[in-house]
């Protein structure tokens, strides 16, 4: 299965996917990493993993429609079948949603529908929620509102932010590759 990963930051989830492919645990081909942040660390990771990358600056385009048309062209030229969002900090618009209907997924660090949007871990802690966790979901036009595919949660038990973050990332790095494999097997 040919995939593209969209990321805006560190890219540890990209790394987990690349590692799972290299280990033979995920049958997929990383065609492209796309970022809207030309300095994002994910670009270093892509280079090291030998994966092609593409950076763009959204403000250099007239509209979301125009940069998504450009991205769609690149993805289609590479034969990309699924778009995997991994810390991509932008909403996907109609152009990509229509081109990749039910073929765009995201990972979010909360037990959705609780705490969508930015800083979900901060929101979880501020609310003194009993459970923290991770959700993999299909992407629709909303913010973290698409159909849920997989979730994993754990009790917060009064731990500090760093510990909770660490647990979230550990779960993400297992759950995302495993869930992608299940989707691609269908
Ligand atoms: C992850 O926690 C993911 O759930 C959220 O953004 C973070 C990205 O982390 N959407 P990384 O860039 O993959 O390390």
167, 155 contact by CB (below 8 A) = no
Helices (H) and strands (E) in the chain, counts: 6, 7
Render pLDDT for 10-30 as a digit per residue (tens, 0 to 9). 999 999 999 999 999 999 999
Q: At what angle do helices 42-49 and 12-22 cross, to 10 degrees?
A: 10
- Looking at residue 117, its pLDDT comes to 97
Residue nearest to atom 10 of ligand 1 (CA): 87
Establish whether residue 107 lines the binding site of ligand 1, counting it when its CB lies within 6 angstroms of any ligand atom: yes
What percent of the chain is predicted at pLDDT more than 70?
100
Task: Please report the atom of ligand 1 found closest to the CA of residue 121.
Answer: 2
Kindly provide the residue ranges of all beta strands, DSSP E only, lying in the chain, ordered along the sequence: 2-6, 29-35, 53-55, 82-85, 104-108, 131-138, 148-155
Delimit the domains of the chain by residue range.
2-185
- Give pLDDT tens digits for 35-77: 999 999 999 999 999 999 999 999 999 999 999 999 999 999 9
pLDDT band at 144 (very low <50, low <70, confident <90, very high): very high
ipTM of the prediction? 0.95
User: For residue 13, how far is its CA from the centre of ligand 1 (angstroms)?
Assistant: 6
- Determine contact, residues 18/45, Cβ cutoff 8 Å: yes
* 11 known ligand binder: yes
Does the domain spanning 2-185 belong to CATH 3.40.50.170? yes
Please tell me the distance between residue 67's alpha carbon and the centre of ligand 1 in angstroms: 23
Q: What is the mean pLDDT of the chain?
A: 97
Annotated active-site residue 137? The verdict is: no
The answer on pLDDT for 159 being more than 90 is no
């Amino acid at each position: 299965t040919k995939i593209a990963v969209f990321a805006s930051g560190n890219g540890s989830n990209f790394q987990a996917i690349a590692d799972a492919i290299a280990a033979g645990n995920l049958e997929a081909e990383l065609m492209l990493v796309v970022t809207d942040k030309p300095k994002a660390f994910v670009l270093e990771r892509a280079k090291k993993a030998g994966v092609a990358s593409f950076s763009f600056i959204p403000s250099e385009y007239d509209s979301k429609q125009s940069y998504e048309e450009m991205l769609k062209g690149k993805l289609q030229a590479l034969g990309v079948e699924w778009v995997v969002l991994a810390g991509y900090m932008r909403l996907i618009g109609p152009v990509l949603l229509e081109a990749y209907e039910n073929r765009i997924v995201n990972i979010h660090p909360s037990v959705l529908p609780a705490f969508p949007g930015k800083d979900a871990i901060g929101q979880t802690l501020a609310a003194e929620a009993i459970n923290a966790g991770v959700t993999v979901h299909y992407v629709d036009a909303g913010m973290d509102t698409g159909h849920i595919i997989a979730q994993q949660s754990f009790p917060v038990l009064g731990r500090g932010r760093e510990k909770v973050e660490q647990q979230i990332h550990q779960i993400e790095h297992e759950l995302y590759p495993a869930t992608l494999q299940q989707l691609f097997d269908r």
